[in-house]
Amino acid sequence: MRIVVTGAGGFIGHHLIKRLRSEGHWVRGVDIKRPEFEASRADEFLIADLRHFKSCLQATADIDDVYHLAADMGGIGYISANHASLTRNNTLINSHMLEAAKVSKARRYLYTSSACVYPAFLQDIEDVSPLKEEDAIPADPEKGYGWEKLFAEQLTMYYHEEHGIDTRIVRFHNIYGPLGAYQGGKEKVPAAICRKVAMAADGAGIEVWGDGEQTRSFCYIDDCIEGLLRIMESGYTKPINLGTDELITINDLVDAVCSAAGKHLLRDHDLTKPQGVRGRNSDNTLLKEVIGWQPAITIQEGIKYTYDWVAGEIARRKVTAGEDLGAMRLEK
């Protein structure tokens, strides 16, 4: 098939293109930037700003399937500080991509949403229950990012109902793994902690946002990609969770990273920093019913892969910086 992956310069998009190409599909990658850590595996890579409808038409031209991952997003610090611009950017991207897919007569359209669509009142409590898809309504999603994701879900369903587009809506629950941002403000929690642990000397302390008792479930990238492909083939057109139901605290996540690094570190909890909802977990009942599968890679296994990659990147950059510095000294 001829497939387009938007957000192809990002973490999930890069892994998805690699998998699709390995299965023999022709893939066009589209992003406002190229991948940061590896060259794209796409057959064609289009640098485009999907806030503009013309760019979305270019992205979807002569395409069978659309995997729409592109979004202005980042970790909790970034999305908490950029409600207006983030909401505007993503609303433009999502609405233009749907219309372009309709005009281009794409066969199938998969939209990647987020667990941020779920109501805060179900998550700002100590003993959280796993979130079921129907829990999103009545609505009280996270400010900015959560609201625009929920709106885009509704718009995707309207295009299915009124224009016959064969749509999928996938709610990600904290996807992590190698080739993702680990610094700069847009990194997610697992990558940020991996970076802090990799840069800390054994026995030192690292900053942890909040008291560390916030709970989350984290889904490793390989499981995420497998889930995306299975959901695309499922024929299911309503929102569906994609994540693990292995709930852990942030303190437990720090322990898992320290174990992967072979370090013993102290935690310096900063209660002034954004920490999101108190708890969030994925209910995978519907996922198992629809595709007969659910993510299985444990946090200990996935974090080991992720930490090794992040630590390797930090070590590589230190070497490169040292070589550059040496060259500058020689020139002087």
The whole-angstrom separation of Cα 90 and Cα 68 is 12
CA distance 175 to 114: 10
* Residue 27 · residue 118 · CB < 8 Å: no
| Residues annotated as catalytic (active site), given as ranges | 145
Smallest CA-to-CA distance from 70 within 151, 2, 152 is with 152
CA-to-CA dists, residue 13 to 45, 82, 172, 194, 267, angstroms:
12, 23, 13, 21, 33
Report the alpha-carbon distance of residue 164 to residue 108 in Å, rounded.
Answer: 10
Computed on alpha carbons and rounded to an integer, the radius of gyration of the chain in Å comes to 20
Q: Which amino acid is at 176?
A: Y
Q: Which helix (H) or strand (E) holds 100?
A: helix 83-103
Q: Which two tokens stand for residue 136?
A: 């999103």
**Both tokens assigned to 11:** 């973490």
Bridge partners for 4 per DSSP: 28, 66
Torsion of CA 19, 22, 23, 29, to 10 degrees: 60
Going by DSSP bridges, is the β-strand pair 205-209/266-270 parallel, antiparallel, or unpaired?
A: parallel
C-alpha 98/C-alpha 320 separation (Å) is 43
Contact criterion met (CB below 8 Å) for 286 and 224: no
Rounded to whole angstroms, how far apart are CA atoms 132 and 282?
7
Distance in angstroms (rounded) separating the CA atoms of residues 88 and 137: 22
